[in-house]
Structure 1
Amino acid sequence: MAAPVKPNVTMKEIEKLDIRCGTILKVEDIPKSKSLMKLTVDLGEEEARTILAGIKGEREDPTEIEGKQALFIVNLEPREMMGYTSHGMLFDIGFEDGITPVLAMPEKEVKNGVRAG
């Protein structure tokens, strides 16, 4: 059975989120963390971004997502975790429902930095 739907939000609230497609260039372990991995992501900007994601333990080999495109929230305040700064959030599917998460990704390759919505 699906989880209950959260309370309604306005379009104005949704428009505040900047969700973009990017390519995961590299996935690295953060040894002291039980859940975090360091992603290096090409979002079509001059420099690749570091985005920390709690994906350790979700896959036998977290590096299997290297080279894949996925959706990222890119306008979150930078956040310090485990000595690294995360500049966004991986947008994946399933974690909140207790299933092994999968990437939210385009059906075909698109230009890095393309916005969702």
Structure 2
Amino acid sequence: MTADFKTPISLDDLAKIDIRVGTIVSITEIERSRDLVHAVVDLGSERRNVVIGMKRERADVKEVVGRQALFVVNLPPRKLAGIVSEAMVFDIGYEDGITPVLAIPEKPVPNGTRAG
């Protein structure tokens, strides 16, 4: 059973969200955290630190290194587990209580390419 759809938003609201393709360059486990890892993501014009809660979702968190995924890049930076996270991975399934998977492009595209 799927969840109810959220309240409709305007196209102007949707246009405010900046989702970009990035390649996960590295993953480092955050020792004192049960859930969080530190990723470095190549977004084309720059690399950013992203803290991702995937430690308990995967047997090997490093399996995503080298993969492209979608990232929300215009959220304010947020300090998590002592690391400033500069984007948020756009994943599928978490809100529905299933093991999340990365939202990925169907074929490689240049890092920094906008979604939408």
TM-score by length of 2: 0.98
Matches within 5 A, 1:1-117: 1-45=1-45, 47-117=46-116
% identical aligned pairs: 52
TM-align CA RMSD: 0.6
Q: Letter of the aligned partner of 1:15 in structure 2?
A: A
Q: CA separation in 2, counterparts of 1:106 and 1:81?
A: 27
- Structure 1 residues not aligned, in runs of 5+: none
Q: CA separation in 2, counterparts of 1:81 and 1:92?
A: 18
Q: Letter of the aligned partner of 2:44 in structure 1?
A: G
- Structure 2 residues not aligned, in runs of 5+: none
